[in-house]
């Protein structure tokens, strides 16, 4: 039987992973899962090396699936969450969120994932729409967008290593 990965993470050095570990290992034990605990405590805003290694292992199907305490322990944005879960599910890797009580391998879990995806897409569209409206309003008020002409264009640009697309042959 393939093992499951239990991924636990905290955001600061002052926090501890014991509560997550206790609940998730009890959950896995109840279901008779064999598992490995991945405990990410050295993460920063941009890097989570153990998660990246786990993602690579999941892609190679080293684990049957991953169990997390909450979605926000796995991903820092809804976009990141959706993209990664979608990839894992397409590879046949299971994903379980303990707190949200969602197992994406079930019919209700798949429905919940589709709803979550729809809301994430809706959020991206709203952000895009607000950005475009703000740019139109700023432009209508007479503000010139972009950098000023000549402000940085006097600097000699590196050309070595680039090729001219007009004359390029592949």
Class of the CATH domain delimited by 4-119? alpha beta
Distances (CA, A) of 54 to 8, 19, 87, 111: 11, 21, 14, 25
In the chain, what are the domain boundaries? 4-119
Q: What is the pLDDT of residue 152?
A: 59
Give the active site residue among 11, 34, 77, 128: 11
77 catalytic residue (yes or no) = no
Nearest Cα to Cα of residue 68 among 27, 11, 12? 27
- Condensed to tens digits (0 to 9), the pLDDT of residues 70-101 reads 888 898 877 888 889 989 999 999 999 998 88
Q: pLDDT higher for 67 or 146?
A: 67
- 133 has pLDDT over 80: yes
Sheet holding 35-40: strands in order across? 35-40, 4-9, 65-68, 94-97, 102-103
DSSP assignment of 37-74 equals: EEEE-S--SS--HHHHHHHHHHHTTSSSEEEES-HHHH
- Condensed to tens digits (0 to 9), the pLDDT of residues 34-79 reads 999 999 886 666 678 899 999 999 999 999 999 999 888 898 877 8
């Amino acid at each position: 039987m393939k093992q499951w990965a239990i991924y636990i993470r905290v955001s600061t050095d002052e926090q501890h992973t014991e509560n997550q570990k206790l609940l998730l290992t009890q959950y896995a034990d109840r279901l008779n899962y064999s598992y490995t605990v991945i405990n990410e405590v050295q993460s920063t805003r941009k890097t989570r090396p153990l998660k990246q290694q786990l993602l690579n292992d999941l892609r190679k199907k080293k684990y049957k699936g991953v169990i997390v305490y909450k979605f926000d322990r796995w991903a820092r944005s809804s976009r990141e969450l959706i993209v990664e879960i979608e990839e894992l599910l397409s590879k046949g890797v299971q994903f379980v969120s303990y707190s949200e009580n969602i197992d994406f391998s079930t019919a209700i879990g798949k429905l919940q994932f589709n709803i979550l995806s729809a809301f994430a897409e809706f959020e991206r569209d709203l952000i895009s729409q607000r950005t475009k409206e703000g740019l139109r309003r700023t432009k209508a008020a007479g503000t010139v967008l972009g950098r000023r002409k000549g402000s940085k264009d006097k600097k000699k640009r590196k050309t070595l290593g680039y090729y001219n697309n007009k004359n390029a042959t592949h």
